[in-house]
Structure 1
Amino acid sequence: MVFVLQCSHLFVPLQLKIKGMAEQSLKRQLKVLTIPVFIEMALVMLLGAVDTVMLSRYSDNSVAAVGLDNQLISLVFLVYQFFSMGAAILCAQYIGAGLRKRLVQVVGMALVVNLMLGMGVSALLYFKAEALLQLMGLRPELMHDGVVYLKITGALSFFQALSLTFSASLRSADKVVYPMVVTGIVNVLNIIGNYALIFGRLGCPQLGVEGAAIATAASRAVAMVLLAAIHFKVHIPRFPLSYFRPMPWQELGNLLRIGVPAMSENISYSLSQVVITYFINQISNEALAARTYCFNMITFVFLFCISITQGGGILVGHLVGQQRHQAAYVLGNYFFRWSMIITLTGSALLALSGRGVLSAFTDNEEIIAMGVWVFVVDFFLEIGRTSNIFAVGTLRATGDAIYPVVIGIIFQWSIAVGLSYVIGIPLGYGLVGMWIGFALDENIRGIILMRRWRSGKWRDKGFVK
C-alpha cells in the first residue's frame, strides 16, 4: 500500500514541453550524469566495504570495532558536507543562470571554511578518540582496535572535507567523470594498501586494524590531491582576490541557508544511527557484526537511487536557475520512478540470496541467521528510503531545504530510535525487530516528503529570481 501511495502517480508518459530542451535531451543528460555518479558512489562505498571484507578474514571482533568507528566517521563526513552540499546546489543554479562570478565566490568560500572545519574536527577525533568510543558504548574487548582505527582515520579526515568540496563543485558543472576516475584510482590504492598492511604482504609489517586505517587514510589524502589538481585544471583555474573584496557575505548567507538545514537533517540521521548502534551493541557482539555486514551489502542496493538523485539534482538545479519549474518537476518524477524500480529489484535479489551472501563473509551461524531476516525486512524499508533519498535531495536542489529537516528530525528520533528500541530490546525481537522500526520510520517520512514534492511549494524557494 505504501508503494502504491508513493509511486502510482508517476507511471505516466514523460512529457517535457519546455523551450530549447526536449524530452530526449534531458533524458540523455540525466544518463550522462548518472552513470559516472553511480560508478563513483559504488567505488566510494566499496572503499568502506573493502576494510570490512578484508578485516573479516582477520577477525569478527575487528569488523565490529571498525563498524562502530565508521558510524562516527560517517557523521563527521556529513558535517564536512555542510558547506560542500550547499555549494553544489548554489553552483548548479548559478551555472544555469550564467552567473560565473557568484559561482567562483561560493566555491572559494566553501573551500576555506571546510579546511578550517576539517582541521578542528580532525584534532578532536585524534585527541578524544577513546572518550568518544566509550560514550558510544564500545565494549572493552573491542576498544583497542576501535581507538587505533579512529585516531588514524580521524586525524586525517580533513582531506575528505576538501575532497567533498572539490568533487561537489566539479559535479555541479557536469564534470562528473573526474571524481569517478579519482575514486577508482583511490580504491585500487586502498585494496593494495589493505592487502599489504593488514596481512603483512609485499614486504610490509602485519598491522591488522592499524594497517587498514593507514591504507584508508592515505588513499583519501591521494584523492584530495588529485581532485584539487583536476579542479584547477578543468573548472576554476584561479580565485581572483577582487571577487572577495569586499567579502561576499550574501553568498555565505546562501551557503548557510542551504547548508544548515542539510547538515541538521543529515547529522540528526547519523546521530540517530549512532544511538541505534549503541543499542545494537547492547544486544551482542554478533548483532553488531551482523549489522555491519548487512549494512555494507544494503548500501549497494540503494546506490542507484543516490546516484540518479545526485545526477538528476544537478539538472533540477540548472532548470530551477532557468526558472523552468515544470520541467524540473516532470524530470524528477521520471528519475524517481526508475530509482524505485531498480532499488526494489536489487533488494529482492539480496533478500533471496541473503544466506549465500553472508556465508561469504562469516561462518558464524548466529550472525548469518540474523542477517537473513534483516534482508527480508529491508525490502519493505527500501520503499520508504528510496522516496526519502529522492525527495530530500531534489527538494534541496530547488532550494526547499528546511521542510525535510523538520520532518526528518521528528520521525528519526520518535520512530527510528524510540520505536526500534522498544521493539528490539524490551520486546526482545533483537536486531530484526529494530530493523522493523527503521522500516516504519522510512516509509512514514517517505509519504510525507513525497506529498511536499507533489504540492509544488518548492517552486518559489530558488536563489535566482
Structure 2
Amino acid sequence: MREIYGKYKEHYKALIFLGLPIIIGQLGIIVIGFADTLMVGHHSTSELGAASFVNNMFNLAIFFSTGFSYGLTPIVGSLYGTRQFAQAGQALRCSLLANFLVSLLLILVMGILYLNIERLGQPEELLPLIKPYYLILLFSLVFVMLFNGFKQFTDGITDTQTAMWILLMGNVLHIGSNYVLINGKLGFPELGLFGAGISTLFSRMAMLAVFIILFARSRRFSRYRVGFFRMGWSKLTFRRLNALGWPIGLQMGMETASFSLSTVMVGWLGTIALASHQVMLTISQFTFMMFYGMGAAVAIRVSNFKGQEDILNVRRSTYAGFHLIMVLGVILSCIVFSCRHYLGGWFTDSAEVSVMVTTLVIPLLIYQFGDGLQINFANALRGISDVKPMMVIAFISYFLISLPVGYFCGFVLEWGVAGVWMAFPFGLTSAGIMLWLRFRYKTRPRPYSP
C-alpha cells in the first residue's frame, strides 16, 4: 500500500487540488436538485411526479450538451500544457459559437418531443403541470450551453475555482427564488412547479452573465482575450470541436437516455412510482456528480500530459483518479445505506413514496463500482481525444443491455420500479469494463523501434 501511495502521491495531490473545486461546484448542482425536489415535493406529490418526468427528459438534453462542450477541454488542456494561450482563447470563441448552434438544434428536438408529450403514456392528471414547466426549461437550454463553454475553458486551463464560485452563487440565487416563487412569498403569487422553472431560468441567465463579465474584465484572462478577440475563427478548431464534441455528447446522451427512458417506463407504474423514482434519482446525483467532478480532473490532467506526449503519467493520473473515485464511492454508499429509512421523508410527506424509495437503495449501491469505473475511464479517453469508440460502447451498454434488463425485471418479472432500477448496475458496469479495456489498449507500452 505504501509503495502504491508513493507511486501515485503527486497525482493524488494534483487531482484533489483540481477536482475538489469541481466537486464543490457539482455539489452545488446537487443542492439545486435537492432544493427543487424538497420544495416541490412538499408543495404537492403531483408536482413532484411532473418534475420527475420533465427533469429526466431534460437531463438527456443537458448531458448531451455538457458532453458536446467537453470537446473543448482536451483542446484547451493541450494548448495550456504547451503554453499556447492565445490559441486557447481562440478555441473558446469557436466553442461558444458551436455550443450556441447545438443549443438551437436541441431546442428543435425537445420542441418536437413537447408536441408529442401526450403519447408518452404519462398520468393524465400530470399533463397540465408538465407542459408549462417543460416550456420554460426549453428556453433555458441556450444559457446552459454557453455557460458550459466558459466552464470547460476555465477547467482546461486548470482554473477550476472560478466555475465553482459562480455555481455556488447561482445556487444561492436559485434556492432563494425557489422559496419565494413556489410558495408565494414577499408579495409574489404562489406558482408551485412553474415557479421552480422560472427560478431555474433566472439563475442560469445570471451565472452566464457573471462568467462573461469575468472573462471580459479580469486580468487573469487577459492573455486569452488576445486570441478570443483578435485571432478570428479557426476551421481546424471547429473541426476538432465537432470531432470530439459529437461522440462525447452522444455517449453521454445515450447514458442519460437509459435513465430518461427508464423514467418513461416508471411513469407507466403511476404517480407514486414516478415520485419515488425522482427522489432516488436526486439521491443518486450525490455520487454521480462527485464522481464526475473527480473524473473531470482526470480529463484535465490527462490532456495536459497528452499534450506533452507523457504516456506514463497519462496512465498514472488515470489510475490515481480511479482510486480516489472508489474511496468516494465507499464513503457515500455507507452514508446512503445508513440513511435509507429516512430518505423518502426528507422529500415528501407521502408514506407510500417513502416505503418505495427504501426498496431502490440496493440497486443504487450495487451500481456504484460500475458508475465510478465508467466515469473515470470515459474521462481519461476524452483527455487523450479517443472518443469515437465510446459511442459504440455506450450503445451496447445502455440500449442493448440496460434498457432490456430494466423492462424484463420491471414488467416481465413484475418487480415494479425496483426492477426497472436493476437495469443500471448491468449497463454502467458493462460500460466501465469496456472503457477500461479501451484505455489499456490505447495507452499500452509501444515496442521500441530505432
2:136 is matched with 152
Match 2:434 to one of 428, 431, 448: 448
Secondary structure (helix, strand or coil) at the match of 2:290 reads helix
Match 1:171 to one of 143, 155, 165: 155
More displaced, 197-206 or 71-80?
Answer: 71-80
2:367 is matched with 381
Secondary structure (helix, strand or coil) at the match of 1:283 reads coil
- 2:358 corresponds to which letter in structure 1? V
2:298 paired with 1:312? yes
Q: Distance in 2 between matches of 1:404 and 1:78?
A: 15
Identity of aligned residues (%): 21
Q: Distance in 1 between matches of 2:229 and 2:278?
A: 47
Closer, same or farther in 2 for the Cα pair 1:200/1:129, shift >3 Å? farther
Residues 86, 226 of structure 2: 8 Å contact kept: no
- 1:185 corresponds to which letter in structure 2? M
Closer, same or farther in 2 for the Cα pair 1:77/1:132, shift >3 Å? farther
Q: Distance in 2 between matches of 1:93 and 1:121?
A: 29
1:111 is matched with 96
Q: Distance in 2 between matches of 1:292 and 1:11?
A: 42
1:34 is matched with 19
Matches within 5 A, 1:65-464: 65-122=50-107, 125=110, 128=112, 130-232=114-216, 233=218, 234-235=220-221, 236-239=224-227, 243-244=231-232, 247-457=233-443
Residues 11, 337 of structure 1: 8 Å contact kept: no
2:4 is matched with 13
Secondary structure (helix, strand or coil) at the match of 1:340 reads helix
Residues 70, 245 of structure 2: 8 Å contact kept: yes
Secondary structure (helix, strand or coil) at the match of 2:186 reads coil
Deviations 1:65-118 (A, max 9, x none): 111111122222233235421111210111112223432232111111222332
Q: Distance in 1 between matches of 2:380 and 2:10?
A: 20
Residues 66, 148 of structure 2: 8 Å contact kept: yes
Residues 136, 275 of structure 1: 8 Å contact kept: no
CA drift of 1:11 comes to: 9.4
- Name the TM-score, length of structure 2 as normaliser: 0.92
More displaced, 444-453 or 401-410?
Answer: 444-453
Aligned pairs, number? 442
- Name the TM-score, length of structure 1 as normaliser: 0.89
CA drift of 1:168 comes to: 0.8
Residues 182, 194 of structure 2: 8 Å contact kept: yes
- 2:85 corresponds to which letter in structure 1? R
Residues 248, 391 of structure 2: 8 Å contact kept: yes
Deviations 1:271-317 (A, max 9, x none): 22222111111112111111100010111123322111111221111
Q: Distance in 2 between matches of 1:88 and 1:132?
A: 36
Q: Distance in 1 between matches of 2:214 and 2:107?
A: 25
CA drift of 1:202 comes to: 1.4
Closer, same or farther in 2 for the Cα pair 1:298/1:241, shift >3 Å? closer
Closer, same or farther in 2 for the Cα pair 1:438/1:108, shift >3 Å? same
Residues 121, 158 of structure 1: 8 Å contact kept: no
Closer, same or farther in 2 for the Cα pair 1:46/1:135, shift >3 Å? farther
1:463 is matched with none
CA drift of 1:135 comes to: 4.2
Q: Distance in 2 between matches of 1:11 and 1:411?
A: 36
Q: Distance in 1 between matches of 2:173 and 2:333?
A: 30
Q: Distance in 2 between matches of 1:99 and 1:157?
A: 31
Residues 174, 200 of structure 2: 8 Å contact kept: yes
Residues 367, 425 of structure 2: 8 Å contact kept: yes
CA drift of 1:144 comes to: 1.1
- 1:153 corresponds to which letter in structure 2? L
CA drift of 1:346 comes to: 0.9
2:49 paired with 1:64? yes
Q: Distance in 1 between matches of 2:61 and 2:304?
A: 29
More displaced, 96-105 or 173-182?
Answer: 96-105
1:5 is matched with none
Secondary structure (helix, strand or coil) at the match of 1:98 reads coil
- Root mean square deviation of aligned Cα: 2.2
Residues 308, 335 of structure 1: 8 Å contact kept: yes
2:33 paired with 1:48? yes
Q: Distance in 1 between matches of 2:116 and 2:91?
A: 33
Residues 42, 349 of structure 2: 8 Å contact kept: no
Q: Distance in 2 between matches of 1:56 and 1:354?
A: 18
**Residue ranges of structure 2 left out of the alignment (5+ in a row):** none
Q: Distance in 1 between matches of 2:410 and 2:104?
A: 38
